[in-house]
Structure 1
């Protein structure tokens, strides 16, 4: 697509939009100011200039308040950040007063702080500073370099005003495969409606489509509406939401689920997520709690044009709720408002999830009966799989699940 730019305002807007599509590595450049205090700035423009002599460089805005301190230092250290350093990166990018407390540092050969778990690091002596437009280009001669403690990790990337990793992959999916799942869901409509009526709960079938979880069918016993009424309602697939699709997923998809949470909220509680996934696999189903929070979440999923910040707040609240729901690995049924049951495809992947949602909470006896009934329903739906009936491979629907985690943060 091309666009003719007619004004300075348009120049800035299109310039940023176009450059936003180009992913850049993220580095922390540090030094020691003349008064002995550490200084640091996040850059996405670090570049190798020459091998002989070994020169590197980066750009900094001419109005940067950190740049004068780096110039005084006459030396600087570049730490290539790992994908687990997003909170550190954000702290320096926003000039958080406590930014030095967001990471672990060690003293480099330049006397500047070096990120201990950097993917790689470069010590350099200031060689030259040149001005280009509204930026300064800082050139340094390498005095030492090496791989950091985070060398085995993926580097942190910046794209579309958000963070990711080199592990992010395509967010495309197989439309034909999606339609097949939609048809599959309609085959199980009678089973789903009976479950909703017998337990007086809202029941839905959903599937993971790329970066989102999309509703295929939904039945509310208090409504006479069609099961297609909420078809297409969706929300991001980001931890700890929809753990049922992550529990039996291969490692790279579980990582995508975790990284989506980091991208959305800026943090990942891996011990909590591992506890959640272990519980799901052990029980064979997932739970979620807080009826009021669940109602807010459902309204959000049915809304259009939801801002990223709204999703981020909701995800943070849900993560807190999940930590309280399974404090010791067991289920506190008095808190449970949602039960999720996997519907497996012939290849062992979770093709769809069967949801039972109450407006209050379940008592233990009702919860156990509901789980047994949902398990039976899920098995019958699985047996009605078009692929199972044809004996066909599910390979054609691989794109349906997708592995991309990046969410548009613009």
Structure 2
């Protein structure tokens, strides 16, 4: 491509004056989206200072280093450099107003968000998409900017209320969406067909067990309720949970992960990490092993179930509430024996396999205490396993157990 094709209105770079060239430089760079990060620190008096940068990046994994490139004439960076330590707060799509307040240096800019303090007193954005507490190790002059390299002391993610990362593109702020990449319409339709094929059998099983049975499918990053049978809570038919969804994030819905693809396990774990900020991979691996050994998954604790139902039934519930419930469920993670039903079990989830041996559907069984009182725990557990086998056979699937 010729230089004329890269310059404004076909003008050759050789005849563009310095002013036009600078404008064209910014225009061309504006075609490249950048993340937006708020770098916070303290000045020599201990007062908070901050600057918005679009140049923050990871520099090294071993040792962990990050960097950013402030303008050489910045009036804020000298204070950050003198302190020697900062927090890089990666902004989310919901932080545009916060970003603009700091970019304009509004007098009340620090009141535009919620903050927590690091161990050294530096303000950290409470719901940043991600954050890095770092100490400056090198500053290099590069043209009209400085290149700052810093050693990472600590790092983490926020409570997910910030949404997807904030991007700067063509002079404006925005974000990106990925529903078209995660929603598999063909796969979802297939799940609906499978669920419909076993609907009558599941209704009969719900009546036999005197329990509530809810059929769930997996669509992208969400678990979706497809059928609900024998609901005992007295709700009207139109208020039943059919159509409700919740994030496919560990430790919930482990049956989909236990008998899923390697990719689904990664998704299950990573979604939890993004939702709650941290995961115990060893504990989750043990949970999957226990689920496979039992032939079904177990959820424990009445309070957790009540909290979960309340949050999932509210489409306006903030993600911070989801994160709180997920953390509670994680704290009461299975941890039981490899077989049988714990005395405090409140829900059981068993798989219906497709022809590949993957969990195509999961059936959640709740309100089953009366059935256990009649049958005994061991017989009830075996009945759940036999239901998994029978329903799998009914859809032409192949059990992976």
TM-score relative to the length of structure 1: 0.59
Deviation at 1:309, TM superposition (A): 2.1
Is residue 97 of structure 1 aligned with residue 103 of structure 2?
Answer: no
Matching residue within 52, 57, 75 for 2:69 = 57
The answer to whether the 8 A contact 1:217-1:228 is kept is no
Structure 2 CA distance for aligned equivalents of residues 278 and 69 of structure 1: 52
Query: What SS is found at the alignment partner of 2:189?
Result: helix
Structure 2 CA distance for aligned equivalents of residues 76 and 306 of structure 1: 36
The answer to whether the 8 A contact 2:160-2:320 is kept is no
Structure 2 CA distance for aligned equivalents of residues 140 and 349 of structure 1: 53
> Following superposition of structure 1 onto structure 2, how do residues 99-114 of structure 1 map, counting pairs within 5 Å?
none
Deviations 1:41-64 (A, max 9, x none): 89762269xxxxxx961479x897
Deviation at 1:170, TM superposition (A): 6.2
> Following superposition of structure 1 onto structure 2, how do residues 173-192 of structure 1 map, counting pairs within 5 Å?
173-192=183-202
The answer to whether the 8 A contact 1:29-1:78 is kept is yes
Structure 1 CA distance for aligned equivalents of residues 321 and 214 of structure 2: 23
Matching residue within 303, 308, 322 for 1:292 = 303
Matching residue within 125, 150, 168 for 2:140 = 125
The RMSD of aligned alpha carbons is 5.0
Deviation at 1:80, TM superposition (A): 12
Structure 2 CA distance for aligned equivalents of residues 292 and 47 of structure 1: 42
Deviation at 1:340, TM superposition (A): 0.7
- Over 3 Å counting, the alpha-carbon distance change for 1:193 and 1:270 in structure 2 is same
The answer to whether the 8 A contact 1:204-1:218 is kept is yes
Deviations 1:351-383 (A, max 9, x none): 100111127685696333233222222223223
Matching residue within 311, 314, 322 for 2:325 = 314
Structure 1 counterpart of 2:376 = 366
Deviation at 1:289, TM superposition (A): 1.0
Structure 1 counterpart of 2:342 = 333
Deviation at 1:78, TM superposition (A): 10
Structure 1 CA distance for aligned equivalents of residues 34 and 391 of structure 2: 42
Query: What SS is found at the alignment partner of 2:228?
Result: strand
Deviation at 1:295, TM superposition (A): 3.2
The answer to whether the 8 A contact 2:294-2:338 is kept is no
Structure 2 counterpart of 1:218 = 228
Structure 1 counterpart of 2:265 = 254
- Over 3 Å counting, the alpha-carbon distance change for 1:352 and 1:140 in structure 2 is same
* Paired residue total: 312
The answer to whether the 8 A contact 2:340-2:381 is kept is no
Is residue 208 of structure 1 aligned with residue 218 of structure 2?
Answer: yes
TM-score relative to the length of structure 2: 0.60
Query: What SS is found at the alignment partner of 1:180?
Result: helix
Is residue 140 of structure 1 aligned with residue 146 of structure 2?
Answer: yes
The answer to whether the 8 A contact 1:25-1:156 is kept is no
Structure 2 CA distance for aligned equivalents of residues 24 and 312 of structure 1: 24
Gaps in structure 2 of 5+ consecutive residues: 1-29, 58-66, 91-113, 123-132, 166-177
The answer to whether the 8 A contact 1:343-1:378 is kept is yes
Deviations 1:115-155 (A, max 9, x none): 8xxxxx983235688xxxxxxxxx3257x899x9x9xxxx9
Structure 1 CA distance for aligned equivalents of residues 121 and 164 of structure 2: 20
The answer to whether the 8 A contact 2:53-2:69 is kept is no
Matching residue within 11, 35, 50 for 1:24 = 35
Q: Which has the higher contact order (CA 8 A, sep 6+)?
A: 1
Structure 2 counterpart of 1:269 = 280
Deviation at 1:242, TM superposition (A): 0.7
Query: What SS is found at the alignment partner of 1:370?
Result: helix
Structure 2 counterpart of 1:357 = 366
Deviation at 1:232, TM superposition (A): 0.8
The answer to whether the 8 A contact 1:291-1:358 is kept is no
Query: What SS is found at the alignment partner of 1:215?
Result: strand
Structure 2 CA distance for aligned equivalents of residues 77 and 201 of structure 1: 55
The answer to whether the 8 A contact 2:244-2:313 is kept is yes
Structure 2 CA distance for aligned equivalents of residues 42 and 270 of structure 1: 36
Gaps in structure 1 of 5+ consecutive residues: 1-18, 49-54, 82-92, 102-112, 116-120, 130-138, 390-410
Is residue 383 of structure 1 aligned with residue 383 of structure 2?
Answer: no
Deviation at 1:384, TM superposition (A): 3.1
